[in-house]
Structure 1
Amino acid sequence: MMSLKAAARSKVILIRPGATTFDEQGRMKGSLDMPMSQRGREQAENLAEELAGVRFHAVYHAPCESAGETAALLVEGRELRPKAIDGFRNIDHGLWHGKLIDEIRRNQPRLYRCVAENPETVCPPGGESLQAAAARAMKAIHRVLRKGRNQVIALVIPDPLASLVAAQLNDEAMPDMWKVEADAGNWQLIEADC
């Protein structure tokens, strides 16, 4: 008789940090390190309030200012210290950093359409492909999931990397990068196998 062992599952609370001025302007922030805007700080405070009753085993965040600020608000009043994880660094958009998404849509319509329809095939000039960014992030996520088996873990990761992570954990197709570029201070629950 064979015994089947159930896979260990963790609950991942995937949190997008509060918005920055680039998010509000519709600019590609990518791996640029920016603080939250006033609206973003309000979003992060609302997130912390919404999640106040959730008992986190650990809080990990991207090594950027907006994710660090959001994580710090999440752990206020808890006996937790957030930890920055380099693998959660947002996508390197190379020469696209700071560009208006609408500008790319108008000036390079074929490229814009290609990114929307087949995001895995595009790599920004001087940047990183979505596949490479997803692989880097998932390697880091598997490490933190092994540490927190059957626990609730908070991951504060900016978009578009957060949406790539969600797609990977939910075994879904890569999202339309143009639609998930901006952070908005929100969260989602994902059950993940360790």
Structure 2
Amino acid sequence: MTATLYLIRHAPHDHLGRILSGRTPGIPLSDDGRGRARRLSAALSARRFASIWSSPVQRARETAREIVTGRGLGVQVDNALDEIDFGDWTGKTFDTLAVDDQWAIWNSARGEALTPAGESMSAVQMRVVTFARTVALAHPGEAVVLVSHCDVIRAALAGWLGLPLGNALNFDVDPASVSRVAVGDWGARVLSINEVFA
């Protein structure tokens, strides 16, 4: 049996595009982000979900809470969906990172590069793909939402597509976007990437 996973990137927040927020607490969705999360929820309202999971990071949990509205479901949180641990880069502006040689290596060789005192992309891929498979096998024939973060979703999709992690930047995962994957005991098949409804 096959489950369909809806991998959803959280909606926008005020640091988006300016600061590498990472796992920094206390960063809510922006006004625009809340509106986009509500529109995404409306776009998905006809779809039935067996469960809705979220990263523990606030912006992801807020996005997930919009999606569960009116469904009689709660949001389940799991650390496997957490943002990448960016270590010493957390909280730095992208302008500051742009002159960091290690940041340039991270963006050109994701499969081999390391974050400073943080997490590798391969470790991210392993935790999210393992979790996604476990959830999928627990929900045969059903659909499940996993709300996470851009590069976490990219890492998972690259794994399912058989792409090296160095190619994970070759496709977009926009805020409030949906990427769908069919997962079963036979493996996984990517159905869509970066569907934007909001």
TM-score normalised by the shorter chain: which range applies?
Answer: 0.7 to 0.9
Aligned to 1:29: 21
Aligned to 1:191: 182
Percent of pairs with identical residues: 22
Aligned pair partner of 1:13 in 3, 6, 13: 6
TM norm structure 2: 0.83
Q: Considering only aligned residues, what root-mean-square deviation do their CA atoms show, in Å?
A: 2.1
AA in 2 matched with 1:64: V
Gaps of 5+ in 2: 186-198
Residues 119-145 of structure 1 deviation map (CA, whole Å, 9 limit, x = unaligned): 011111111111111112222222211
Contact 1:19 1:37 in 2 (8 A): yes
Contact 1:17 1:66 in 2 (8 A): yes
Runs of 4+ residues deviating >3 angstroms: 110-113
Aligned to 1:54: 47
Higher strand residue share? 2
User: What is the CA–CA distance in structure 2 between the aligned matches of 1:44 and 1:82, rounded to whole Å?
Assistant: 15
Which is further off, 32-41 or 10-19? 32-41
Displacement of 1:99 in angstroms is 1.8
Displacement of 1:69 in angstroms is 1.0
Which is further off, 126-135 or 112-121? 112-121
User: What is the CA–CA distance in structure 2 between the aligned matches of 1:183 and 1:32, rounded to whole Å?
Assistant: 20
User: What is the CA–CA distance in structure 2 between the aligned matches of 1:170 and 1:61, rounded to whole Å?
Assistant: 23
Contact 2:154 2:169 in 1 (8 A): no
Q: Which has the larger radius of gyration?
A: 1
Residues 10-62 of structure 1 deviation map (CA, whole Å, 9 limit, x = unaligned): 11111111112111x43212222321111111111111011111111111111
TM norm structure 1: 0.84
Aligned to 1:172: 163
AA in 1 matched with 2:68: V
Aligned to 2:85: 92
Residues 102-122 of structure 1 deviation map (CA, whole Å, 9 limit, x = unaligned): 4322x13x4344223310111
Displacement of 1:89 in angstroms is 1.0
AA in 1 matched with 2:125: A
Bigger RCO of structures 1 and 2 (CA < 8 A, at least 6 apart): 1
